[in-house]
Amino acid sequence: MYETLWAIISWQLKIFRPFERIDPGLQQKSDIYKSAIRHKHLMHTELTLLAKKMDGVLYYDQSPEHHTQLLAYSTDASVYQEKPLAVAIPQNVSDIKQLIDFARQQKATLVPRAAGTSLAGQVVSDGIVADISKHFNKIIEVNVAEKWVRVQPGVIRDDLNNYLRAYGLMFGPETSTANRAMIGGMVGNNSCGLHSIVWGAVRENLLEVNAVLSDGSEVVFKNEPVDGNDHTGLKKEIYKGLYNLLSDENNQQLIKQHFPKESVVRRNSGYALDSLLKMQPFSSKGESFNICKLIAGSEGTLAFITEIKLQLINQPPEKTALVCIHCNSIDEALRANIVALKHNPMASELVDRYIMNFTRAHPEYHKNCFFIEGDPAAILMVEFMAHTNGDVNLLAQQLVNELQEKGYGYAFPVLLNGDTKYAWDVRKAGLGLLRNLPGDIQPVNLIEDCAVSPEELPEYVIDLQRVLDKYKVNASYYAHAGAGELHVEPMINLKTPEGVKLFRTILAETVELVKKYKGSLSGEHGDGRLRGEYISTVVGNETYQLFKEVKKLFDPHNIFNKGKITDTPPMDGHLRVSVGKQPGPLKTSFDFSGQGSMLRLAEKCSGSGDCRRSEISGGTMCPSYMATRNEKDTTRARANILRQFLSNPEDVDPLNHQEIKEVMDLCLSCKGCKTECPSGVDITKMKAEFLQQYYDKNGIPFRAKLIGNFSSQMKLASLVPWGYNLVFGNSMLRKLVNQVVGFHPDRTMPLLASTTLAKWFKRRMKNDIDTGKKVHFFCDEFTNYYDVEIGKKAILLLEVLGYEVIIPDHEESGRTYLSKGMVKKAARIANQNIRLLSDIVTEEIPIVGVEPSTILTLRDEYIDLAETSNKEKARELASHTFTIEEFFSNEAGKGHISKEMFTKVKRTIAVHGHCYQKVLSSQHHSNIMLSMPENYQVQFIPSGCCGMAGAFGYETEHYEVSQQVGELVLFPAVRSFADDVIIAASGTSCRHQIKDGTHKIALHPVEILWDALAG
Ligand SMILES: Cc1cc2nc3c(=O)[nH]c(=O)nc-3n(C[C@H](O)[C@H](O)[C@H](O)COP(=O)(O)OP(=O)(O)OC[C@H]3O[C@@H](n4cnc5c(N)ncnc54)[C@H](O)[C@@H]3O)c2cc1C
Ligand code: SF4
Ligand code: SF4
């Protein structure tokens, strides 16, 4: 009986204490689990304490705000993904020291991160990712006489050179990512690029580094004897250790034997012990010892850099010639490369057919392909520079002559000066553009960075192609032929176990080739977690042990970027795509079939970081990042977070997440990414789709409804426009109402016209026009209620040109619903408009509109919102839809408008283009339209988004960012113009933003042209 009772008691105990099992294995696991929970809890407490000690910010908990940051920092430009323990945005060196102390005490790893464009997973980690891009971005000192600059690590390379231009100096090493990659990251990866054969890599241009070591001490590394006596603390230990290591003859032998052969110029794998050996005292004729050579390329594993002193060079000669050698095979191009190198070019780069085909198919980049003749298998681009056109042409011609003599190449167009940019853009956009390949078989970074001697490149590529052929894998080949390094991107489906196996096999077999040619596993991108596992195979275990010794000398507690260069985990773990089971189809309001699916569109983001450009580099993408400089506000973060949720096969509601809302919050839906992102990651479309699905589950907020229903409210208000204007024309009342609806009190509201455009049009005395020329006018909701005068002038101008203007029966555009994510409602309107307009809008009688955001909706979103039966009609309608600028520019092209119709007065017009015009049309049309009066000088303000973006700039929580976006370029430019400069802006929001931000009035091009009519 006691036994029975005991059995019952034990059974009860097991239920309530599930971890206490008899099985010792399970018992052990449960202990680990309990300790993990305890550890997590402790860690949370410790992290909270750390956050309090820091002047900067630390994200670490599971709140949507923090978790969004953790997800956004889970990737870089590699195939890897791992959620960090925390994300730190250190504000000063003291914060960095706090982070190092924490990492030491808690046995966490600390990853210094700059722009996060590393291709091998260097900044992907489960530790603390410390982003220095926000607060460490100052240029500290330039010394023109001695040609050096001192910077903080978060300075963008192109921004630095932009600054140095005034001094006639520049920092040589560049990357294709130079408009966002930062000097700290370039040092970490020892970056170099197009011109490395002349300007070298960072290692050759690095003079000094200020850093915090793993014990928290601040040090300066520079030219100084390794065996000097004045070093102290950990620095002393490091120098002593290195001296002993490098003085050992056996070690010297290992390094000489196992590092790449001397003719391999790109050598970026492991720690650069070979460079140290070439210096004094190890090489009597060498330069004086400078440990910076080792820091370059150390991938954040040795020290946390806080300042960098760089060697500068003079600006290169201005005249440039680019010989574009068209070849029938890659082999032919690589043999031409050997010939080209004898002519001492500045660069020699390869582009293969894959890249060219993608470029030709891209809406933005195809314009750059004008120089391509026929269908070359590869083009070798060889660049020369000189002081005169004559000299540079001569250099180009000498090369062409020798190539023709040797029978390499079939066409040799030579681009000069400004035109060379187009060809380089084709080459540079390559990696991003390759992501436009449809389907799951995608080009992967894997063996893209292996380098050999340029003379052996043809043979190496033949061998490599054999490996790829064996596994029936296609690949693209491009980039630095002149430096012996081709970016070879095999096309693999990483979503399948077979693909993952191939991923490893191809690297493993390429490693054998690298050994065969005594090349380098990495030439410029670094080893990261992609190639790190194979370093020991390439250099041998004994040499690899030297790397481990180096790591131990600097970082005995393994604080800095654990698992990179030494002790790297398996290269096929923590991939960003889920392997095996894939999520089922997602029902969406937008049609994503053109992109495969919404997930596929999000997956297209390669992480290249083009969306992290600053306003100095220009462009529209990405205004929110340009304003806040937060990774979370990049297009990349938005795509990454969407991808992480959409790819979870277990999640039945993948868009119902606060984190997505958080990351989308500052997206202005400007569409910049639709064309400026090389992968065409269209966040505007995905944000609208997300909002619709989020609202489906959580309800539509009051303010979103209010904005969406703009037309119906204005219809009512326009019955008593004076009443509406009384409220919004009075600043006290307006502030009050603004606050009630959630608009910022300082934001003024547009006032209503006394009548609507539609009413005016119906009631007016019509001109008798009988030219047989007709045009439809899209009476959009903003022009109808607010900008009636612009609408009138547009109609009258069209009539002056001899057009009979028809306002057809149509609905509002649906823009306000789209901007607030009410896609279903917008879809109903779009389909109704397609039905109403598609039969009457034809090639002969097209439709024009003055407000870019609405008229271009007919051309863009309507196609993706059309029901199947309306699809073809929507496409047809789109092809006959024009902005007023396009229409006038076409008319001018046909000779229908004469300059005689306009004034001869001299005026300067400064144009701010609407984002949608830049993305879906071209500023060229505004130029033609506004240049019709013969003495009108048109200049374009190099602004991106104005910051208003529909209702975004009105909303209380977005007002500040809206102003910041305006202040980037647009406001200062507008303020700088003399009073007689006419400011032109087609968008109603843009004009409003200019008025609120600068108190200057911008006019619609239609108004400017109307005022310019002669007589
Ligand atoms: C499309 C594309 C094209 C590319 N083309 C080139 C090219 O032509 N040439 C080339 O060399 N590379 C190229 N890269 C790779 C990459 O852009 C470069 O390596 C770049 O220099 C990295 O800079 P980042 O600011 O993004 O650094 P991150 O990726 O943030 O960091 C790079 C490394 O530096 C370390 N680091 C950063 N800051 C510090 C610090 N303060 N202290 C210590 N360590 C630090 C990091 O830990 C990391 O290991 C390309 C990448 C992409 C996506
Ligand atoms: S969103 Fe586009 S530009 Fe930004 S990182 Fe991704 S691919 Fe590059
Ligand atoms: S739509 Fe504009 S703001 Fe939004 S992600 Fe794209 S570029 Fe950035």
Dump pLDDT digits (tens) for 261-302. Answer: 999 999 999 999 999 999 999 999 999 999 999 999 999 999
- pLDDT confidence tier of residue 772, bands split at 50, 70 and 90: confident
Ligand nearest to the CA of 214: 1
**Mean pLDDT over each residue of the chain, to the nearest integer:** 94
**Rg of the Cα trace of the chain?**
31
Tokens of 518: 């005594």
SS (H, E, C) 879-927: HCEEEHHHHHHHHHHCCCCCHHHECCCCEEEEEECCHHHHHHCCHHHHH
- pLDDT confidence tier of residue 33, bands split at 50, 70 and 90: low
Question: How confident is the model over 173-204, as pLDDT tens digits?
Answer: 999 899 999 999 999 999 999 999 999 999 99
Q: Which amino acid is at 631?
A: E
Instruction: Tell me the HSE value of 171 on the side-chain side, using a 13 A CA sphere.
Output: 38
673 Cα: distance to centroid of ligand 3 (angstroms): 6
Predicted local confidence at residue 230, as pLDDT: 82
- pLDDT confidence tier of residue 18, bands split at 50, 70 and 90: very low
Please identify, by atom number, the ligand 1 atom nearest to the C-alpha of residue 77: 53
Q: Is the pLDDT of residue 128 over 50?
A: yes
DSSP 615: T
Residue from 636, 664, 685 to probe ligand 2 pocket by mutation (most atoms less than 8 Å from CB): 636
Residue identifier of the C-alpha nearest atom 1 of ligand 1: 608
Ligand nearest to the CA of 682: 3
Please identify, by atom number, the ligand 1 atom nearest to the C-alpha of residue 136: 41
Ligand 2 neighbourhood includes 860 CB (under 6 angstroms): no
Predicted local confidence at residue 764, as pLDDT: 87
- pLDDT confidence tier of residue 24, bands split at 50, 70 and 90: very low
Predicted local confidence at residue 15, as pLDDT: 38
Predicted local confidence at residue 428, as pLDDT: 73
Residue identifier of the C-alpha nearest atom 2 of ligand 3: 670
684 Cα: distance to centroid of ligand 3 (angstroms): 6
Residue identifier of the C-alpha nearest atom 17 of ligand 1: 117
Residue for token pair 């599930």 = 18
Predicted local confidence at residue 678, as pLDDT: 85
Is 472 within 8 Å of 443 (Cβ atoms)? Answer: no
Residue from 617, 671, 918 to probe ligand 3 pocket by mutation (most atoms less than 8 Å from CB): 671
Predicted local confidence at residue 771, as pLDDT: 80
131 Cα: distance to centroid of ligand 3 (angstroms): 22
Ligand nearest to the CA of 633: 3
Question: How confident is the model over 43-60, as pLDDT tens digits?
Answer: 889 999 999 999 999 999
Predicted local confidence at residue 36, as pLDDT: 56
Predicted local confidence at residue 38, as pLDDT: 58
Q: Is the pLDDT of residue 554 over 80?
A: yes
DSSP 1013: B
Q: What is the pTM of this model?
A: 0.94
Is 226 within 8 Å of 237 (Cβ atoms)? Answer: no
Residue from 176, 292, 298 to probe ligand 1 pocket by mutation (most atoms less than 8 Å from CB): 176
DSSP 766: P
Q: Is the pLDDT of residue 436 over 90?
A: no
608 Cα: distance to centroid of ligand 2 (angstroms): 5
Predicted local confidence at residue 354, as pLDDT: 86
Mean pLDDT, residues 575-586 taken together: 93
Please identify, by atom number, the ligand 2 atom nearest to the C-alpha of residue 639: 1
Q: Is the pLDDT of residue 29 over 80?
A: no
Q: Is the pLDDT of residue 1015 over 50?
A: yes
Mean pLDDT, residues 607-631 taken together: 96
- Which of 943, 947, 935, 934 lies closest to 984, judged by CA? 943
Predicted local confidence at residue 35, as pLDDT: 55
Q: Which residues contact 678 (CB under 8 A, 6 or more apart)?
A: 362, 365, 429, 431, 432, 433, 435, 436, 606, 608, 610
- pLDDT confidence tier of residue 23, bands split at 50, 70 and 90: very low
Tokens of 949: 């973006």
918 Cα: distance to centroid of ligand 2 (angstroms): 18
682 Cα: distance to centroid of ligand 3 (angstroms): 8
Ligand 2 neighbourhood includes 266 CB (under 6 angstroms): no
Ligand 2 neighbourhood includes 677 CB (under 6 angstroms): yes
Ligand 2 neighbourhood includes 78 CB (under 6 angstroms): no
Least-confidence region, from 652-656, 792-796, 897-901: 897-901
Question: Dihedrals φ, ψ of 991, to 5°?
Answer: -65, -40
Torsion angle of the four alpha carbons 180, 185, 190, 194, in this order, in degrees rounded to the nearest 10: 0
Predicted local confidence at residue 679, as pLDDT: 87
Mean pLDDT, residues 215-236 taken together: 93
Q: Is the pLDDT of residue 431 over 70?
A: no
Please identify, by atom number, the ligand 1 atom nearest to the C-alpha of residue 298: 49
Please identify, by atom number, the ligand 3 atom nearest to the C-alpha of residue 682: 6
251 Cα: distance to centroid of ligand 1 (angstroms): 30
Distance CA 677, CA 59 (A): 28
655 Cα: distance to centroid of ligand 2 (angstroms): 20
673 Cα: distance to centroid of ligand 2 (angstroms): 8
Residue from 118, 131, 192 to probe ligand 1 pocket by mutation (most atoms less than 8 Å from CB): 118
Question: How confident is the model over 855-883, as pLDDT tens digits?
Answer: 999 999 999 999 999 999 999 999 999 99
The helix (run of H) or strand (run of E) holding residue 690 is helix 683-698
Q: Is the pLDDT of residue 22 over 60?
A: no
Mean pLDDT, residues 90-118 taken together: 97
Is 207 within 8 Å of 313 (Cβ atoms)? Answer: no
- pLDDT confidence tier of residue 39, bands split at 50, 70 and 90: low
Q: Is the pLDDT of residue 4 over 80?
A: no
Is 919 within 8 Å of 671 (Cβ atoms)? Answer: yes
Q: Is the pLDDT of residue 34 over 90?
A: no
758 or 43, greater pLDDT: 758
- Which of 399, 424, 422 lies closest to 336, judged by CA? 399
Kind of pairing between the strands at 110-113 and 128-131: parallel
Distance CA 536, CA 545 (A): 8
Predicted local confidence at residue 13, as pLDDT: 40
Residue identifier of the C-alpha nearest atom 5 of ligand 1: 176
Question: How confident is the model over 336-387, as pLDDT tens digits?
Answer: 999 999 999 999 999 999 888 888 887 777 888 999 999 999 999 999 999 9
190 Cα: distance to centroid of ligand 2 (angstroms): 23
Tokens of 590: 């937008």
Is 882 within 8 Å of 846 (Cβ atoms)? Answer: yes
680 Cα: distance to centroid of ligand 2 (angstroms): 8
Please identify, by atom number, the ligand 2 atom nearest to the C-alpha of residue 635: 1
Least-confidence region, from 433-447, 459-473, 529-543, 915-929: 433-447
